[in-house]
Amino acid sequence: MRPRTTTSFTHRARSNKAQSTEPAPLSILRKLYRIPWLFLFILSIIAALGIATLHSISGARGAYLADQQLIRYLIAFILLLTCAMVPAKLWMQLSYPLFALSILLVMLVPIIGVMPPGAGAKRWLMIGKVSVQPSEFLKIALVLGLARYFHSVPARKISNPLYLVVPLMMLLLPLIPIFMQPDLGTALLVAMIGAGIVFLAGVNSFYFISAGLVALGALPVLWANLLPYQRERIFTFLNPERDPLGAGYHLMQSKIAICSADLWGKGADNATQSQLNFLPEKHTDFIFAMFTEQHGFIGAMGLMTLYIICFALLSLMAIRTKNLYGRLVISGMALTLFLYVFINMGMVMGLLPVVGVPLPLMSYGGTSILSIMFGLGIAISAFVHRK
């Protein structure tokens, strides 16, 4: 590493503040002090709610799932703290390699991926005995990679089309294998996260408006090229009753679960709908249906509020962070989290088509919780090392 030379500089010299904080690396205590504990506390509450909901699944299965999830959350929490303590610089260094690795994994899925019984698509990779979902990691890695990239782009060049080629490539590269898997939900999610980061990075709004118009125009073309099962999903989304035992089944069941609850819900013991094994995905993607049935409108609103507080805290953290990489990582994670929550809830309620998107921290699933906590760990690290 080259020592700081005079070339760097005039603005440095002008910035007394920067100079004063520069030399001493943060002590562990200082880092711990800077960790946004309120945010972690709310995350833990959400995770606890998820575990409690899993526990309410009848019989030994519920207890098993809850235990597994608890262990995973604890591991993920430690992972988050560890990541938060790691200097943000290191994460910045690791951003591109991580991104490359995740793309590699995603590309491996169509080749050596497995499809667990009951799942609709090939999304898992077996590493030893553990099955992982590379597309979950990809979303985090994409945030890191894009943040890393925009950090290096000069502020005034950010809207330059030439500078947008690279992020576009970074977006499209993983989308190809995801489309091949096929996983429309993840593809859309990845695209939206990418677009969001590009937007937050400060790229001219013109691009987004025009892209939106193009997308609108492309819809018929896209429709023509959709796979039958994808069209089917859209059909059933528009009219779930069309095929209540087939394609619309999940949606119908989850709607039944949600609707059968009133303001305060039925309580864990009386929530009959979600306890039925009519909802094969009730502990993963449709856990919100089960939660709503148990805790009613109030419970669901409470959960949404917790998530909103999370986004708000992340946004504040992002705004307070001085460097672009940190800002983009934090806001990118907030965006990812938001999209997860919104898409999942929307899908469970029948507002959005059924795509395999878990509810962060609530849904059962190791990869989901670990990747989210990992990403949040890096975000917190960026906040801790914000200067």
Of 117, 118, 128, 154, the residue at the interface with other proteins (CB under 8 A) is 154
Tokens of 187: 């593809």
The helices-and-strands tally (H runs, E runs) of the chain is: 17, 2
Q: Where are the alpha helices (DSSP H) in 204-323?
A: 205-225, 228-238, 249-259, 267-270, 272-275, 287-320
What's the min distance (Å) between Cβ of 225 and other proteins? 27
Which string of x and - marks every residue 5-44 that binds other proteins (by CB under 8 A)?
--xxx-xx-xx--x--xx----------------------
255 binds other proteins (CB under 8 A): yes
Q: Tell me which residues in 264-283 interact with other proteins (CB under 8 A).
A: 270, 272-273, 275-278
Q: What letter does residue 131 receive in the DSSP assignment? A: E
> Which amino acid, one-letter code, is at 273?
Q
- Rounded distance between C-alpha atoms, residue 16 and residue 30, angstroms: 21
Of 60, 117, 156, 206, the residue at the interface with other proteins (CB under 8 A) is 156
- Rounded distance between C-alpha atoms, residue 264 and residue 52, angstroms: 17
What's the min distance (Å) between Cβ of 185 and other proteins? 17
Of 40, 66, 142, 300, the residue at the interface with other proteins (CB under 8 A) is 300
Q: Tell me which residues in 38-67 interact with other proteins (CB under 8 A).
A: 58-59
Of 1, 112, 162, 214, the residue at the interface with other proteins (CB under 8 A) is 1
Residues in Cβ contact with 181 at an 8 Å cutoff, skipping those fewer than 6 apart? 109, 110, 113, 121, 122, 123, 135
Tokens of 378: 């890096």
How wide is the angle at C-alpha 47 spanned by C-alphas 256 and 304, nearest 5°?
A: 55
Strand segments, DSSP code E, in 80-219 are 125-127, 130-132
Residues that bind other proteins (rule: CB under 8 A) add up to a total of 80
Q: Tell me which residues in 306-365 interact with other proteins (CB under 8 A).
A: 307-308, 311-312, 315, 318-319, 322-327, 331, 335, 338, 342, 345-346, 349-351
Which string of x and - marks every residue 200-229 that binds other proteins (by CB under 8 A)?
xxx---------------------------
What's the min distance (Å) between Cβ of 272 and other proteins? 5
Of 120, 157, 161, 222, the residue at the interface with other proteins (CB under 8 A) is 157
Of 132, 261, 329, 376, the residue at the interface with other proteins (CB under 8 A) is 261
297 binds other proteins (CB under 8 A): yes
- Exposure class string for 261-296: b at 16+ Cβ within 10 A, else e: beeebbebeebebbbeeebebbbbbbbbbbbbbbbb
Of 256, 302, 306, 309, the residue at the interface with other proteins (CB under 8 A) is 256
Which string of x and - marks every residue 76-95 that binds other proteins (by CB under 8 A)?
------------xxx-xx--
What's the min distance (Å) between Cβ of 118 and other proteins? 13
Tally of CA atoms within 13 A in the half-sphere of 259 that contains its CB: 8
Tokens of 27: 């002590």
163 binds other proteins (CB under 8 A): no
Q: Tell me which residues in 84-143 interact with other proteins (CB under 8 A).
A: 88-90, 92-93
